[in-house]
Amino acid sequence: MFKKILIANRGEIALRVIEACRLLGIRSVAVFSEADRHSLHARLADEAYCIGPPPARDSYLNLAAIMSAAEISKAEAIHPGYGFLAEDPHFAEVCEASGVKFIGPPRQVLELAGDKLATKRAVARAGLPTLPGTDALRDEREAREAARELGFPLIVKAAAGGGGRGMRLVRNESELIEQFHAARREAEAGFGNPAVYLERFLEGARHVEVQILADEHGHVVHWGERECSIQRRYQKLIEESPAPNLDDTLRRAICGAAVEAARALGYRNAGTVEFLVAGGEFYVIEVNARIQVEHPVSEMRAGRDLVVEQIRVAAGEELGYTQEQLELRGHAIECRINAEDPLRDFLPATGRVRVKGWPGGFGVRVDAHLYDGLEVGPYYDSLLAKVIAWGPDRESARRRLLGALRRLELEGLPTTRELCLEILEHPAFVEGRTTTRFLDEQWERTRR
């Protein structure tokens, strides 16, 4: 087992890794930008090093500064968290060349998973279902021809990256070229790669993902599926496990397909296989080669710490349990509390947060880097906290989460708390019949 791990991230995920290190008796090393000098992760780690000014490109994306901190601290491994350099194959390669263990998939897997088209081809060769679509498109002519063949509606998607960037819904040919170029610009700006492709859009589809974990000895298990359909701008807002109103036969097929996809990619460590589900059909859409923001809902059901498992696997240990021995209990729901204004198209908010009330009680968990007086700046992701509730069934988890959110009182800037409360009491959510278009259709309609 490692003696010291550097955490190449910030915020609540950095705190999660610090806690996992403490459980395993491992010393933790934080890195922080000048904007995060007083952050919780910098204060709670065993060691902390400043790696640059506030902009992420000069700090959390500064590979040289991070590797220097690893060398100075004599860290044996690096946990990348999510975002920033977490899915950067070059980062994994540099860690390997430096004799530092990258706690995540190997470089080859990161390269494959980072190319959605390559991933799609790999899982299709394994016999798994994928949506009809194209290869990377070179120009407007190819886009028009492919769109006419696929039929509308369809999605323009960035071949690289994730997080909903570089995705555009196109309902008819008159929108195609504008959205084609918009997606290319966003993909170039976000990922340095303008390649986009087209894929059939499924009306009324649900976004379901499966948490997988693979060791370095060929063992792969899944930790059940998560429903992630409630999204804004293709970014998730509420997640839950298990997915409601999913036929057990279909559930088993989806989870089995996730394990097969992991094997097809030669996957190692923790990751997520993403699916679209419509009726009785499901399709693999991508693989996220990192720990996900919403991993706590799977932890709550499994009764295990996924970050601890990541570290164990990276250290070369076997999983130590089979799929049959992994018992998933009850229901868990998570709400993301972001510093955003839902009434202004989720415009990110900045300012000082006053914490006036905090959730608690049996079955309630809060993963956050919040403290009273935290100054939220413009440099990083808007996530402030994740509020998670577990119950023996979905309704008890939903009611428990409602109570937790009502006890969370934040002042000083707008957040998604009120929106989450509204959604949890919306009839479509109560009945478990939400789709990826929920916020665009159901919620917007009730607001008018």
Active-site positions read: 290
Cβ atoms of 314 and 269 closer than 8 Å: yes
Euclidean distance between CA atoms 342 and 358, whole angstroms: 22
Q: Which three-class secondary structure state does DSSP give residue 182?
A: helix
The dihedral sign for the CA sequence 67, 72, 77, 80: negative
> Going by C-beta distance under 8 Å and a sequence separation of 6 or more, which residues neighbour residue 263?
126, 220
Q: What is the 3-state secondary structure (H, E, C) of 230-265?
A: EEECCEEEEEEECCCCCCHHHHHHHHHHHHHHHHHC
Euclidean distance between CA atoms 353 and 373, whole angstroms: 5
The DSSP secondary structure of 9-72, one letter per residue, reads: --HHHHHHHHHHHHHHT-EEEEEEEGGGTT-HHHHHSSEEEEEESSSGGGTTT-HHHHHHHHHH
Cβ atoms of 210 and 258 closer than 8 Å: yes
For 379, other C-beta atoms within 10 Å of its C-beta total 18
Q: Which long-range contacts (CB under 8 A, 24 or more apart) does 444-447 make?
A: 446/422
Euclidean distance between CA atoms 243 and 195, whole angstroms: 33
Euclidean distance between CA atoms 268 and 304, whole angstroms: 18
> Going by C-beta distance under 8 Å and a sequence separation of 6 or more, which residues neighbour residue 428?
434, 438, 442
Query: Phi/psi at 445 (nearest 5 deg)?
Result: -65, -40
Euclidean distance between CA atoms 126 and 133, whole angstroms: 17
Q: Which of 4, 2, 21 is nearest to 13 (CA)?
A: 21
Euclidean distance between CA atoms 38 and 54, whole angstroms: 13
Euclidean distance between CA atoms 401 and 421, whole angstroms: 9
